[in-house]
Structure 1
Amino acid sequence: MPTIRSTILASTALIGGILAGSGAVHAQQTIESAGLTIATTPVISSDYSFRGLSQTRNRPAAQVTVDVEHSTGLYVGAFVSNVAFAGTNARQEVDLNAGYRMELAGVKLDLGATYYAYPGYDAPTGGYELNFYEFALRASYEIAPVKFVGLAAVSPDFTGESGLGIYVEGGFDMALDFGFTVGGRVGYQWVERNFATAGRNEGAFGAEDYLNVSLFASREIIGGVIGTVSVVFTSLDERADCFGGSKICDNRVMFALSRPF
Structure 2
Amino acid sequence: MKTNAVTACAFAIGLSLAAGSAGAFELEDAGLTIGVTPTISSDYLFRGISQTQNRPAVQGTVDIQHSTGFYVGAFASNVSFLGTNARQEVDALAGWRTTVAGVSLDLGGIAYTYPGYRNPAGSGLFDLQYFELSAKASYEFEPVKVLGAINYSPNYQLESGTGVYVEGGVEVALPFNLTLGGRLGYQWIQNNTRWGSPDFANWNVTVSTKVYDFVLTAGYFDTDLSRSECFGGQKICAARGMVYLSRTF
TM-score scaled by length of structure 1? 0.85
Aligned residue in 1 for 2:208? 218
What residue is the counterpart of 1:59 in the other structure? Answer: 55
Residue 96 of structure 1: aligned partner = 92
Distance 1:219 1:105 in 2: 29
Aligned to 2:74: 78
Name 1:186's counterpart in structure 2.
184
1:244 counterpart residue number: 232
Alignment-derived partner of residue 16 in structure 2: none
The residue aligned with 1:232 is 221
Look up the SS of the partner of 1:59 in the other structure: coil
Corresponding residue number in structure 2 for 1:257: 245
Cα distance in 2 for residues equivalent to 1:128 and 1:50: 19
Q: 1:123 aligns with which of 119, 125, 132?
A: 119
Residue 107 (str. 1) matches residue 103 (str. 2):
yes
Displacement of 1:182: 1.0
C-alpha distance in 2 between matches for 1:174 and 1:35: 32
What is the alpha-carbon distance in structure 1 between the residues aligned to residue 205 and residue 53 of structure 2?
Answer: 20
Q: Secondary structure of the equivalent of 1:75?
A: strand
Instruction: Tell me how far apart the structure 2 counterparts of residues 192 and 165 of structure 1 sit (CA, whole Å).
Output: 6
Cα separation, 2, equivalents of 1:67 and 1:251: 31
SS of the residue corresponding to residue 60 of structure 2 reads strand
Q: What SS does the corresponding residue of 2:29 show, helix, strand or coil?
A: helix
CA distance in 2, matches of 1:240, 1:218: 33
Deviation of 1:157 (Å): 0.1
Counterpart CA distance in 1 for 2:169 and 2:248 is 22
Question: Match for residue 201 of structure 1?
Answer: none
Name the SS for the 1:240 alignment partner.
helix
Gap regions ≥5 residues in structure 1? 1-27, 196-203
User: Mean alpha-carbon deviation: is it higher for 121-130 or for 150-159?
Assistant: 121-130
Is 1:36 equivalent to 2:32 in the alignment? yes
Q: CA deviation at 1:174?
A: 1.1
Q: Deviations over 1:70-90 (max 9, x none)?
A: 000100000000000011100
Amino acid aligned to 2:101: A
Partners of 1:158 and 1:110 in 2: CA distance: 21
Partner of 1:162: 160
Question: Which structure has more RCO (C-alpha within 8 Å, separation ≥ 6)?
Answer: 1
CA deviation after TM superposition for structure 1 residue 68, in Å: 0.5
Residue matched to 1:150:
148
3-state DSSP of counterpart to 1:126? coil
Amino acid of the structure 2 residue aligned with 1:103: T
Amino acid at match of 1:130: L
Q: Which amino acid aligns with 1:165?
A: G
> What TM-score does the superposition give when structure 2 sets the normalisation length?
0.89
Give the stretch that moved more between structures: 116-125 or 154-163.
116-125
The alignment yields a C-alpha RMSD, in angstroms, of 0.8
Aligned to 1:48: 44
1:29 Cα deviation from its structure 2 partner: 2.1
For 1:249, the aligned partner's letter is C
Residue-by-residue CA offset, 1:91-116 (whole Å, 9 max, x unaligned): 00000010011111111111000000
Q: Residue 228 of structure 2 aligns to a residue in which SS?
A: helix
User: Which ranges in structure 2 are unaligned for 5 or more consecutive residues?
Assistant: 1-23
Q: Percent identity?
A: 54
Task: Give the 4+ runs in structure 1 shifted more than 4 A.
Answer: none
